[in-house]
């Protein structure tokens, strides 16, 4: 009982701190914000307070991310030169270093998850989970500090870091990780980390290649079409969708392996895997639907029409139809098992094409992240 009261007390403090920080931000930066930004700020505060109170580990993540980002910003002293001069910035907390830490930690947790999967020793499982949490935190810090850095380049250059392929890949990694961590905790499926982290590590490899080969980590100013508050909502919502679909596909891999009796001693029961895939796809589907609709609303404002059959839009529609069919078969027809598992795996191919292939091979209005 005492623990319960204590929990409630912490929840209360957490919400209070968030509320006061919001009020502080509103009063201090009021002159820089328009109504939409005020709504977005308050909306985010409420979302984080709610998430922090229903999911305690998220609260911890949030608090540490917040604290470390602030320390990082403090070290900058308003100048980009500090990245080279300040020891902590140079090796830990500057945006680039934080993201590099993330790219190191995710592969490490993948390896640890595999050791756990094969050895079945809880020590490794817990270690892997912790590593994933820390990697996610570093990713968040990297993006938040990058946001701040962009304003240090110049006030008019400053923008939320979801504007190009490099930034959204980092976003993809941390959102997928966060979704996975949520289900891992809720459904006790630690062993699936060995699969979900594969796709995250693949994204990490891409980030590294993109950084070192193409120098994509440079902060670029926003083209006029992207200068809209819609970007803050449309892009993250889309990536919750992509992340969830990617996770579903990786769990389907586990399902298919188990079904073929490969590693089956080491994997959860088939019905758990099936259920998990369903949960991932449904959350992804909802966010993807909302993101696509918001994209349409934005397009109506920026491009003169809510739908232009632009390749990205069209492929979003195909992704949507694909998962709509998947859900239809499962919910209405009651289909289960290998067919749906294969389907969700093919879904990942379609999704990846919509996410990356369109930028690579097709041109159109959405060409913000060209390779």
Partner 1 sequence: MKFAITMFSLLAVASVIGTVLKQNEPYNNYIIKFGQFWFNIFETVGLYNVYQAFWFLLILIFLILSTSLCISRNTPKILRDYKKFQDRLRVKSLLSFKHSYQFSIKKFNAKKITEFLKSNNFKIKHKTNNEEGDLIVAKKGDLQKLGYIFTHLAIVIISIGGLLDGNLVFKVQELMGTKQIQLLDQELSQIPLAGRMSEKNLSYRASILLSEGDTKTAAILRAKEGYLVQEIPFSITLKDFNIEHYATGQPKSFKSDLLVRDKKTGESITKTISVNKPLTYKGVTIYQAAFEDGGSKLDLLVWNLNSSTPSFQMKSEIFKNNKLTFERQNLTLEFKDFRKFNILEISNNEEKKAKPTNVGPNFLYKVRNESGQAKEYQTYQFPIAVDGNYFFMSGTRDSPQEEFKYLKVPADQNLSLEGFMIFKSLLNNEQKVSEAINKGLNESAFQTNEKKEAFKSGTQNIINSFIEGGYNSVVEKMDLNIPEKASFLEKEKAVKTYINIIYLVGQELVKSYEAENQNKIIFPTNNSPRFIQDALTAYSDSFFYGVPLYLELKDFKHVQASGLQLTKSPGQIWVYLGSILLVMGIFCMIYIQEIRLWILVKNNSNSMIVSLATNRDRMDFDQYAVELQDKIKKITN
- What sign does the CA torsion over 364, 173, 91, 214 have? negative
Which CB sits closer to partner 1, 311 or 369? 311
Contacts 24+ apart (CB under 8 A), 203-206: 203/169, 203/172, 203/173, 203/176, 204/102, 204/103, 204/106, 204/107, 204/173, 206/169
- Of the two residues 19 and 182, which places its CB atom closer to partner 1 in the complex? 182
- Distance of closest approach, residue 336 Cβ to partner 1, in angstroms: 10
Please report how close the Cβ of residue 197 comes to partner 1 at its closest, in angstroms: 24
Both tokens of 147, joined, read: 């946001």
Chain contacts with partner 1 (rule: CB under 8 A): 154, 156-157, 215, 220-221, 223-225, 227-228, 271-272, 275, 278, 282, 285-286, 289-290, 293, 296-297, 300-307, 309, 311, 314-315, 317-318, 321-322, 325, 327, 331-332, 334, 358, 362-364
- Distance of alpha carbon 52 from the chain centroid: 17
CB of 230 to partner 1, least distance (A): 8
Spatial distance between the Cα atoms of 91 and 103, rounded to a whole number of angstroms: 14
Q: How far is the CB of 212 from partner 1 (least distance, A)?
A: 13
Residue 111 beta carbon to partner 1: minimum distance, rounded to whole angstroms: 30
User: Tokens at residue 115, please?
Assistant: 């050791």
Select 15 or 227, whichever has its Cβ closest to partner 1.
227
Q: How crowded is the C-beta side of 297, counted as CA atoms within 13 Å? A: 12
Query: In 10 A of CB 195, how many CB atoms?
Result: 24
Phi, psi (rounded to 5 degrees) for 209: -60, -45
Burial category of 91 from C-beta neighbours within 10 Å (exposed 0-12, middle 13-18, buried 19 and up): exposed
With respect to partner 1, which residue has the nearer C-beta, 78 or 215?
215
Nearer to partner 1, 11 or 308 (CB): 308
Residue (325 or 349) nearer to partner 1, CB: 325
Structure tokens at 16: 């209070």
Minimum Å gap between C-beta 237 and partner 1 is 11
Q: With respect to partner 1, which residue has the nearer C-beta, 133 or 315?
A: 315
d(CA 287, CA 308): 21
What minimum distance in Å lies between the beta carbon of 154 and partner 1?
6
Structure tokens at 368: 């913000």
């Amino acid at each position: 009982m005492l623990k319960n009261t204590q929990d409630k007390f912490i929840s209360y403090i957490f919400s209070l701190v968030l509320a006061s920080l919001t009020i502080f931000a509103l009063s201090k930066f009021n002159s820089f914000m328009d109504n939409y930004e005020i709504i977005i700020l308050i909306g985010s505060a409420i979302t984080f307070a709610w998430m922090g109170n229903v999911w305690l580990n998220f609260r911890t993540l949030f608090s540490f991310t917040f604290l470390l980002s602030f320390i990082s910003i403090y070290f900058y002293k308003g100048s980009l030169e500090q990245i080279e001069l300040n020891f902590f910035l140079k090796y830990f907390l500057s945006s680039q270093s934080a993201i590099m830490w993330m790219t190191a930690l995710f592969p490490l947790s993948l390896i640890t998850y595999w050791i756990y999967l094969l050895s079945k020793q809880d020590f490794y499982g817990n270690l892997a989970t912790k590593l994933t949490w820390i990697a996610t935190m570093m990713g968040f810090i990297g993006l938040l500090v990058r946001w701040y850095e962009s304003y240090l380049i110049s006030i008019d250059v400053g923008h939320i870091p979801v504007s190009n392929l490099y930034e959204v890949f980092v976003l993809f990694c941390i959102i997928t990780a966060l979704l996975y961590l949520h289900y891992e905790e809720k459904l006790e499926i630690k062993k699936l980390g060995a699969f979900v982290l594969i796709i995250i590590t693949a994204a990490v490899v891409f980030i590294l290649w993109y950084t070192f080969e193409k120098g994509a980590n440079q902060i670029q100013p926003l083209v006029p079409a992207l200068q809209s508050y819609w970007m803050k909502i449309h892009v993250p919502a889309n990536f919750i969708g992509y992340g969830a679909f990617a996770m579903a596909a990786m769990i389907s891999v586990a399902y298919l392996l188990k079904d073929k009796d490969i590693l089956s001693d080491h994997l959860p029961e088939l019905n758990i895997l099936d259920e998990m895939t369903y949960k991932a796809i449904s959350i992804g589907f909802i966010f993807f639907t909302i993101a696509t609709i918001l994209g349409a609303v934005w397009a109506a404002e920026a491009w003169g029409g809510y739908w232009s059959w632009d390749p990205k839009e069209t492929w979003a529609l195909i992704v949507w139809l694909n998962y709509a069919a998947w859900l239809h078969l499962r919910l209405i027809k009651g289909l289960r098992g290998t067919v749906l598992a294969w389907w969700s795996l093919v879904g990942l191919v379609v999704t990846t094409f919509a996410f990356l292939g369109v930028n690579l091979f097709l041109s159109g209005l959405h060409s913000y992240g060209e390779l």
